Structure 1
Amino acid sequence: MIFDLDGTLVDTPRGIVTTFAAVFAQLDLPTVDSGSIRATIGLPLPAAFAKVLGISEEESLVAKCVELYLSTFREIVLPKAPQLVFPGVFDGLRSLRENGFLLAVATSKFIFNAEALLVAAGVREEFSTVVGADQVSRPKPDPESGFLVLQRLGVPASNAVMVGDTTHDVLMARGAGMSSIGVTYGVHSVEQLLSAEPTRLVDSFPGVVQAVSEL
């Protein structure tokens, strides 16, 4: 089982929006509405900042924003991480692992921040491997992250399922040839998730555990 991180395991979207706003304030950039920022969650940071700012990813300002974001996120969000884990995640991950599942994370976060968040949240030990956006040349929704997880764990796509809260996760799964479970409690709406045609759609983490037993 491969999990997305933000909006799937940990309720970080509000913290992400706050971090974006703090970065813009520190760089004396115009304020951006929270809806525009939230709409980029699930994309790699360079793509997200470029989209919000309306500039190319190659602009030096994007690199400056990303660098500042990484340090600011650690200051704002990491101390709150244990309280941000979604209901049912702790018990659900443990149950899945005890029942023989290999668990992994494929995230649009850079690997350093992904590892730091998982450790701060108290769930890192549940996962056999973690793949960050900076470890592949084409992050989600491209299937490369999924292929890398499967390669590391020696598991065929037919025996894997991706769990995530955005269409990026579902599309990655489809591209990699694996099943998918969309969760409705994260960033994308039910309508958005259904547009990507997930194998299952659930509204809670206990629902994820139930759905995978049916798959």
Structure 2
Amino acid sequence: MTAVLFDLDGTLADTPGAITAILRRMCPLAPPDRVAASVGRPLADVFAELLVTPRDSPIVVAASAEFRALFASDVVPRAAELVFPAVRELLDRLADAGRPLAVVTSKSPAGAAEFLAAARLDQYFPVTVGYVPEVPGKPAPHQALAAARALGVDPAECVVVGDSTDDMKMADAAGIPGIGVGYGVATLAELRAAGAQHIAGTPEELFELLLPELSLSSATVPSLPEVST
């Protein structure tokens, strides 16, 4: 059975709008398109670009800390209501089917754990790989490979599900099939160009791709790699 490595923001939960609002409040002079494109990237990279300053500068460190505080106060309390409606059922079905599950996110490990707990999603994920400065983040393959190792499966027996081009590039670099979801940050065309092997325009279509045996349209759904047991 396929192990599934999920991105968090924009894939499991509808947080990109809230993230963008905080970034616009903090960086009012930054071009809106650059702000929107920042969602899903490590905070140091985001503020280095938006504030045009080195990523290890005190300004970036302070901005990252301020963002985390604002996200914790403004967004985390609403975490459960931000989970995409079809996602919770999908996770229930994947868990019932015995699928190994992990989250791979550009959030810090602590930030990811806090959000998943508040969203009541932590029970589904025995493995969460957050971004740490010492390890290259997305689109490098390191986080996806670390998640596969932690789950005890070969990368070729996993699939990455994400809404950003960096998610798809990470999957490709790791030798893992990528499913791009079109209800988050990137467009379907952008996801395809970034290497997505499958596309889900809605959470319901994602259900069909990950659990075709439970879908009425399973005959039209491409097969995914199987984890040997």
Q: C-alpha separation between the residues in 1 aligned to 2:24 and 2:191?
A: 27
> Which residue pairs with 2:136 in the alignment?
138
Q: How does 1:43-192 map to 2 (within 5 A)?
A: 43-134=41-132, 137-192=135-190
Q: What whole-Å deviation, never above 9, does each CA across 1:127-173 have from its counterpart, x for those lacking one?
A: 11101011751011000001111111110011100000011111111
Asked whether the equivalents of residues 17 and 38 of structure 1 are also in contact (C-alpha less than 8 Å), the reply is: yes
Residue number among 13, 16, 19 corresponding to 1:13 in the alignment:
16
> Which residue pairs with 1:27 in the alignment?
none
Q: C-alpha separation between the residues in 2 aligned to 1:39 and 1:205?
A: 21
**Regions of 4+ moved over 4 Å:** none
Q: Report the CA distance between 1:67 and its aligned residue.
A: 0.9
Q: C-alpha separation between the residues in 1 aligned to 2:25 and 2:123?
A: 31
Q: Name whichever structure is richer in helix by fraction.
A: 1
> Which residue pairs with 2:215 in the alignment?
none
Asked whether the equivalents of residues 96 and 209 of structure 1 are also in contact (C-alpha less than 8 Å), the reply is: no
> Which residue pairs with 2:218 in the alignment?
none
Equivalent position amino acid for 2:7 in 1: D
Equivalent position amino acid for 1:150 in 2: A
- Of 1-10 and 53-62, deviating more is 53-62
Q: C-alpha separation between the residues in 2 aligned to 1:179 and 1:165?
A: 14
Q: What whole-Å deviation, never above 9, does each CA across 1:164-215 have from its counterpart, x for those lacking one?
A: 0011111111111111100000001112111112110011122122112431
Q: C-alpha separation between the residues in 2 aligned to 1:102 and 1:203?
A: 23
Secondary structure of 2:17 counterpart: helix
> Which residue pairs with 1:4 in the alignment?
7
Asked whether the equivalents of residues 111 and 135 of structure 1 are also in contact (C-alpha less than 8 Å), the reply is: no
Q: C-alpha separation between the residues in 1 aligned to 2:32 and 2:73?
A: 20
Superposition CA RMSD, Å: 1.4
Asked whether the equivalents of residues 109 and 129 of structure 2 are also in contact (C-alpha less than 8 Å), the reply is: yes
Residue number among 17, 31, 34 corresponding to 1:36 in the alignment:
34
Q: Which runs of 5+ in 1 are unaligned?
A: 25-29
Asked whether the equivalents of residues 136 and 144 of structure 1 are also in contact (C-alpha less than 8 Å), the reply is: no
TM-score, with normalisation over the residues of structure 2? 0.87
Equivalent position amino acid for 1:169 in 2: D
Instruction: Give the number of aligned pairs.
Output: 210
Q: C-alpha separation between the residues in 1 aligned to 2:16 and 2:128?
A: 20
Q: C-alpha separation between the residues in 1 aligned to 2:172 and 2:203?
A: 21
Q: C-alpha separation between the residues in 2 aligned to 1:150 and 1:82?
A: 27
Q: C-alpha separation between the residues in 2 aligned to 1:175 and 1:32?
A: 30
Q: C-alpha separation between the residues in 1 aligned to 2:171 and 2:54?
A: 27
Q: C-alpha separation between the residues in 2 aligned to 1:19 and 1:113?
A: 16
Q: C-alpha separation between the residues in 1 aligned to 2:66 and 2:165?
A: 27
Residue number among 201, 204, 214 corresponding to 1:203 in the alignment:
201
Equivalent position amino acid for 2:119 in 1: A
